[in-house]
Structure 1
């Protein structure tokens, strides 16, 4: 799954330095930005002759074969409808996205359009490297009309200082996946609350000569991006959050965060309904344990995980259900995450670039059918294709109850700290408050200012 590797520790660790370099390069390259924050690029005033002049755009996207194939077809269609515009489609492995972007930026030829992960957008925006969405170019008359085309909160992760800087190209959140065959064999239903998880989980554990052969739930370990999303959602369910929405304050030592961390630790150390040894040190091992029929439940899959299950034995019995909540707590689902199509502030053709982005955004159903990617648009969410998608009502309801993670300019570095801290407490039995105090100290210099 192309999207979720963005939130995995492997990708984050491998591109952290490249990401920092590219952001510095954008400041030090001395490029004259064609547009700055707060200035809406316009298309008005251009003559018919100038509009017909040849326009060349570059579009940088991560490697995801089903989507890449679809977009190659859409590019051909767009170019036929707009014969004066040519688009160079640049596809690179997800882990190399910022390296490629950096090289193009330093060379003075940054891409016009980039498909950024939502956690990367705040830092790029903060350095003035993004142009705000040209509403008229994408085919709407107002922000209200734009918002009416998307499900609630789909655009909120890309709004800064009251302006929109990206259109979603993928929108998801984690649900809990359960193996109904394992639950039926144990004679239990899936837990609706974290408090029920302990009791129900006991019935799902199977051991052979002291070795766990089936665990109740597979947790994410050595997987900072996923751990951040799980922990932030649980902290919100406990009445708090990890960081302030503007990324300037850390709440890692607050009661809600301590409650969330302790709850996860107890699943391992007290309830003993999950075995970290089964994960090893591989990011995403929790998904494999569920897929291979070792775990009865798993917390880090979105609607895209349905594709992973197709054609497998477990896929016949796997269904998505809502994230557990804390008893008496707010009705909060998993954090919303995704990718967004952006236009560079240095693009010489922002109106044409946004026109192309608007064209792609109008093909939400095609993305859903071709790659299983939901872009957050109401037309797809309420259409026949989604209605036929297994358990779509669960995904839609959970998306409506979720929200984007805090906007952190140093999101990768902070996620690594949070993930390692969670591993230390849950896996290595460190005292929660002491570990969280140390993490709080480490993230202070990385907060937004």
Structure 2
């Protein structure tokens, strides 16, 4: 799932659809509340003999249309099954889910952002994965064969797996090769460290071309993207925002302070990132990069390829690994994603997991038709996927990525992190001062 969708605006500003290819589907997505009626109408079996599965997901126009077709295929092959399909705007989905499940209702299957799922798991609102529906005789061991370990662990609590990965991505580093060349920079100058970013950034801004106004665009006003970015930088510095079990905040640790101070220095000490240019409520980092406003961008995964080709077709770019600190860890972008979950209230658990298994069997089709990777090794290693633009760079980055530790009060804690970043980048406070405040706020939430 692209981070330019509502689920990544992701916590803080209004939830919205991407203005290019996603606006194309706006009217379609708005009508999806009625999709199930149209899908079911053509099924030949009588309603009395049907097993009904209710499936909720987030609004994502291209994927919603594709899943509508998959549901029609599934119902044709399984005429005694009816699937009620309901895409829900991300700003509504978390509350709608929690309220419905707490009241004993809700869907039979739902596609949900992994960061928010920890709360549902801790409250026993979701059921462990039924491995038999997926033909996984050895349970988690077989799942680890089919998915990258970091992906599986992102949907687990200890040894128990609660979600099947369904949309997985992370962030790579993008550079505008035309702007680099116009500034006299070559492949030898492509940044590998933050010191390199500072050096080439100053050269780029001294010799601007193609509408360049800032060397580097960074996320802002977007709590999830900002948290993912700061976690990546903290890992590069040898630490993490939270303990591995997600129970203790480490926001004032030396590694996090180093990470956030570098972020602030890129904007304020070196002037390479210009917060006044955005991102704003109406655009994203990839928009500023695609339009040539910024020559470098440190957010966005494989789905950005589609955004750039459709919306900014003239840009020439290179996908790189994330720069790190001198002598630091070569950490990939923080992994994030959605998973398929079955609530504990469902009366159709077996049927729901069987349908989930069908969806997961279409991994290559999801990737080819929507740009969404389901996190599976089969698609990851296929010849078709290897032919995807810059896939070797994406693959390397995925392999070096990790999910954020499982934290229960996710939405509240990422707002704490968002405020800490804004104090440094926008108010020019020191990282140590800002993170001391954030640590105190996080301790109160996690005690």
- Which 10-residue stretch deviates more, 1-10 or 317-326? 1-10
Q: Where does residue 198 of structure 1 map in the other structure?
A: 198
The structure 1 residue matched to 2:170, chosen from 169, 173, 177, is 173
**Inter-partner Cα distance in structure 1 for 2:310 and 2:2:** 19
Structure 1 residues 75 and 8 mapped into 2: Cα distance closer, same or farther (>3 Å)?
closer
Partner of 1:237 in structure 2?
236
When the two structures are superposed, what TM-score results if normalisation uses the length of structure 2? 0.86
1:122-146, Cα deviation, whole Å (9 max, x unpaired): 0011100111111111221112222
Change (3 A) 1:424 1:301: same
Measured against aligned partners, the alpha-carbon deviations of 1:275-307 in whole angstroms (never above 9, x if no partner) come to 111116437543221121110001111111111
Shift of 1:398: 0.3
- Paired with 1:370 and 1:135, the residues of 2 have a C-alpha distance of 27
Counterpart position of 1:136 = 132
**Hey, what does 2:356 align to over in structure 1?**
357
Distance 1:263 1:69, change over 3 A: same
- Checking the alignment, whether the CA contact within 8 Å between 1:60 and 1:115 is kept in structure 2 is yes
Corresponding position of 1:35: none
Q: Spell out, residue by residue over 1:300-346, the C-alpha distance to the aligned partner (whole angstroms, 9 max, x if none).
A: 11111111101444654023211101121222111000000001111
* Structure 2 counterpart of 1:123, from 119, 142, 149: 119
Alignment partners' CA distance in 2, 1:280 and 1:125: 33
**Bigger Cα displacement from structure 2, 284-293 vs 215-224:** 284-293
TM (norm. structure 1) is 0.86
The residue that corresponds to 1:85 in the other structure is 81
1:212-361 alignment runs, 5 A limit: 213-279=212-278, 281-282=280-281, 285-313=284-312, 316-361=315-360
Cα separation, 2, equivalents of 1:11 and 1:421: 15
Residue number among 179, 183, 187 corresponding to 2:180 in the alignment = 183
Q: What is residue 28 of structure 1 aligned with on the other side?
A: none
Cα pair 1:193 1:324 within 8 Å, conserved: yes
Superposition deviation, residue 262 in structure 1: 1.1
Number of paired residues?
409
Structure 1 contact 292–314 (Cα < 8 Å) conserved: no
Tell me the CA shift for residue 350 of structure 1: 1.0
**Residues 240 and 256 in structure 2, CA contact (< 8 A), matched pair in contact too:** yes
Distance change >3 Å, CA 432–CA 372, structure 1 → 2: same
Given that 2:212 and 2:295 are in contact with CA atoms closer than 8 Å, whether structure 1 keeps it comes out as: no
Q: Distance in 2 between matches of 1:235 and 1:415?
A: 15
Native 8 Å contact 1:2 1:64 kept in 2: no
Instruction: Name the counterpart of 1:375.
Output: 374
Work out whether 1:110 is the aligned partner of 2:109. Answer: no
| Structure 1 residues 355 and 266, CA gap change in structure 2 (3 angstroms) | same
| Among candidates 155, 159, 162, match of residue 156 of structure 2 | 159
SS at match of 1:131: coil
Q: Which moved more, 1:124-133 or 1:54-63?
A: 54-63
> What is the CA deviation profile of residues 149-177 of structure 1, one whole-angstrom value per residue up to 9, with x for unaligned ones?
11332211111131111111111000111
Q: Which moved more, 1:119-128 or 1:151-160?
A: 151-160
Q: Is the Cα–Cα contact under 8 Å of residues 201 and 216 in structure 2 kept in the other structure?
A: yes
Judged with a 3 Å threshold, the aligned counterparts in structure 2 of structure 1 residues 251 and 106 are, in CA distance, closer, same or farther, namely: closer
- The 1:285–1:56 alpha-carbon spacing in structure 2 relative to 1, beyond 3 Å, is closer
Structure 1, unpaired ranges of 5+: 16-51
Unaligned runs of 5+ in 2: 16-47
Mean Cα displacement is larger for which, 390-399 or 418-427? 418-427
Q: How does 1:1-20 map to 2 (within 5 A)?
A: 2-5=2-5, 8-12=8-12
Inter-partner Cα distance in structure 1 for 2:264 and 2:357: 45
Which string of whole-angstrom CA distances, capped at 9 and with x for unpartnered residues, describes residues 384-442 of structure 1?
Answer: 22122100011111000010012111111111111121111122111221111111111
SS at match of 1:436: helix
Structure 1 residues 10 and 402: alpha-carbon distance in aligned structure 2, compared to 1, 3 A threshold: closer
Secondary structure of 2:97's counterpart equals: helix
- Over 3 Å counting, the alpha-carbon distance change for 1:97 and 1:220 in structure 2 is same
1:15-36 Cα deviation digits (max 9, x unpaired): 9xxxxxxxxxxxxxxxxxxxxx
Deviates more, 1:315-324 or 1:227-236: 315-324
Determine whether 1:73 maps to 2:72.
no
Give the Å deviation of 1:206.
4.7
Q: Which residue of 1 aligns with 2:32?
A: none
Deviation at 1:228, TM superposition (A): 0.6
